[in-house]
Structure 1
Amino acid sequence: MKFLTLAIIPLLAMTAFASPRLPEETPQQTFASAAEATEMLFQAVKSGDKERIGKILGGPTDLLSTDDEVQDDLDRGLFIQKYQEMHRIDLEADGSVMLYLGAENWPFPIPLVAQDGSWRFDAAKGRDEILFRQIGENELTAIATCLEFVAAERQHQGTPDTLNLEGSSPTSLVAKAASGSGGGDPLFLHGYYFRLLPGRKPVNGFTLIAYPAQYRSSGVMTFVVNQNGVVYEKDLGPNTSAVATSMIVFHKDSTWRAAEE
């Protein structure tokens, strides 16, 4: 089973999932009501039947795959837990129906639509929402990593190579890349690359840049932080990678704004 955990807001997540791509001739399952569709989805997830889930959800699945069976099982368990805790369906302004899960009312990303008197999950619409949520999660993680790095720098009051390079936390991984142990290559973490700018800086100062590995797929905004601890963001556009990798020093102007944590 392929699942993808997507953040709704910090510390909250919900689960969307993918299943094996079905043969072209296999029609998507439809239902007499939206309520029946959500209940059948729950039963399919509970059973772990990949083919059954695929027929219910339909549509492309590549965006939802994690290739991590352990995480997939955890995410499936979370979906089951939240569905049993509380679930409801609401009619949206566009006529679609959304499934909400748990006491937190987490919206399931794939809406239900009516067609010819039957209901089905609209995976095409859900795909855009899933991508939007994944980008949001990656950007929040990038901001948090920048702030963690600043905190570690302040604690050690030195250059990156004075940091504890042991471990696999975001801070230690960025420190490894900054110290040159990564061969000078930027560090990839949760859809973003991190690197220290090599330009002139004050004593014990630094400038860390985080930019999306795939613009509009893994992220949109580019983030920059220095020893002052304020994370700035800017959309560098389709040429984000080229602009970010060629940056030597950070010149803040009115196009950069403070990022919201």
Structure 2
Amino acid sequence: MFAATIALAFALTAGAQDQTLAQQTQAQSPGPGRAQLNFKSAAAAMDAFGAAIRENSEDALRTLFGQDFRDLIPPAGGETRDTFIAAWNQSHAIVSSGDGRARIAVGNAGWTFPVPLVETPRGWRFDTHAGTEEMRLRRIGRNELAVIQTMLAIYDAQREYAQTSHDGSNLLVYASKLVSTPGKHDGLYWPDQAGGAPSPLGPAFLDAASRASGDAGLHGYRFKLLTSQGKDAPGGAYDYAVDGLLFGGFAVLAWPVKYGDTGIESFMVSHAGALYQRDLGADTARRAEAIKQFDPGAGWRKVPAQDIE
């Protein structure tokens, strides 16, 4: 539970300075251009960090991580802080890699604090640059795995949707939208109504549609439905839509809102069920916007089974 919560939010609480800071080899708070505090051992640095987050002192966190500590340690508050502190109280330990670097393992779920400790001639300190990069990599991995599950959920929802007719029609078709037109059931999500059938997808997909052109997306990704497929798709090239209704199939494309920050891989799935991925490169946004068909040709590959399970 702890690992999942921290991995999603990483909203660590800030903490306060206490007597463990006496173990530091420097006494001043680092200002712009000044060095971070160094410690006699990795364990001493860990203890200072634990004291800081428990007591919530921005001054202490600034001495540990520098002026930009808020980029690494979001403001205190809410369930995540309590969860982190509970896990810290449960277990915290130094895990050394044997090369003058170490990490802090927190709790019993295998989670490690993303900012490593590094040994320098002056002692041990937190490597904030490496921590920023580790957080980026973790965020990308977390988002990509979440998007894989989202794509599979859309696939399942489309199959469920097509088993029932909607909006007074007697036709069985796939949904033409992620989120329904107000008052209709032409998408995979619609608001719950007393006595009414629930939608195949939950309210998160309301955000997926409303934020599709914004800065956030869902799990750092944007989504769009595709209404035809190309020659490299199973069954060859054809349109799914007839008179605006998806009789012949469906497909979905997902791509990162910010390439290299919220994700790297783009993903596609169709009614055939196979999920594909591809790195579209630094020009991902433009290339994804230009994709109009499900056509997993050269460059696209199936998502490994271990990432789907």
Question: Would the TM-score normalized by the shorter structure come out above 0.5?
Answer: yes
- 1:42 CA drift (Å): 0.7
User: Residue 30 of structure 1: which of 6, 24, 38 is its match?
Assistant: 38
Say whether 1:74 aligns with 2:79: yes
Q: What are the ranges of 5 or more consecutive residues in structure 1 without an aligned counterpart?
A: 1-6
Moved over 6 A (4+): none
Say whether 1:104 aligns with 2:109: yes
Say whether 1:188 aligns with 2:217: yes
Alignment correspondent of 2:263: 219
CA distance in 2 between counterparts of 1:211 and 1:63 reads 25
Taking the TM superposition and a 5 Å limit, the aligned residue runs for 1:89-168 are: 89-157=94-162, 158-159=174-175, 160=177, 161-166=186-191
CA distance in 2 between counterparts of 1:228 and 1:143 reads 16
Q: Could you give the per-residue CA deviations for residues 86-131 of structure 1, whole angstroms, max 9, x where no partner exists?
A: 1211221432111111112212111111222421111011111110
AA at the equivalent of 1:166: P
AA at the equivalent of 1:193: R
Q: Is the 8 A contact 1:58 1:121 kept in 2?
A: no
Instruction: Give secondary structure in 1 for the equivalent of 2:217.
Output: strand
Q: Could you give the per-residue CA deviations for residues 195-239 of structure 1, whole angstroms, max 9, x where no partner exists?
A: 112432261521111101111011100011112232211001111
Say whether 1:55 aligns with 2:63: yes
AA at the equivalent of 1:209: L
- 1:18 CA drift (Å): 8.6
Alignment correspondent of 1:206: 250
AA at the equivalent of 1:170: A
CA distance in 1 between counterparts of 2:13 and 2:289 reads 34
Q: Is the 8 A contact 2:13 2:54 kept in 1?
A: no
Q: Could you give the per-residue CA deviations for residues 144-181 of structure 1, whole angstroms, max 9, x where no partner exists?
A: 2111111111111132425332276334545xx3xxxx
Specify which structure has the bigger relative contact order, considering alpha-carbon pairs within 8 angstroms and separated by 6 or more residues: 1
Between stretches 45-54 and 152-161, larger displacement belongs to 152-161
CA distance in 2 between counterparts of 1:247 and 1:48 reads 48
Tell me the number of residue pairs that the alignment of Structure 1 and Structure 2 aligns: 243
AA at the equivalent of 1:104: A
Q: Is the 8 A contact 1:149 1:171 kept in 2?
A: no
TM score, norm. by length of structure 2: 0.69
CA distance in 1 between counterparts of 2:276 and 2:285 reads 17
For residues 219 and 246 of structure 1, do their structure 2 counterparts lie closer, same or farther at Cα, with a shift above 3 Å needed?
same
Q: Is the 8 A contact 1:29 1:56 kept in 2?
A: yes
Q: What are the ranges of 5 or more consecutive residues in structure 2 without an aligned counterpart?
A: 15-29, 163-173, 178-185, 193-201, 229-238, 241-245
Q: Is the 8 A contact 2:12 2:84 kept in 1?
A: no
CA distance in 1 between counterparts of 2:211 and 2:128 reads 42
CA distance in 2 between counterparts of 1:73 and 1:27 reads 31
For residues 78 and 26 of structure 1, do their structure 2 counterparts lie closer, same or farther at Cα, with a shift above 3 Å needed?
farther
Say whether 1:238 aligns with 2:282: yes
Identical aligned residues as a percent: 29
AA at the equivalent of 1:51: D
TM score, norm. by length of structure 1: 0.81
AA at the equivalent of 2:140: I
Alignment correspondent of 1:43: 51
Query: For the aligned residues, what is the CA RMSD?
Result: 3.0
Instruction: Give secondary structure in 1 for the equivalent of 2:277.
Output: strand
Alignment correspondent of 2:204: 170
- 1:75 CA drift (Å): 2.4
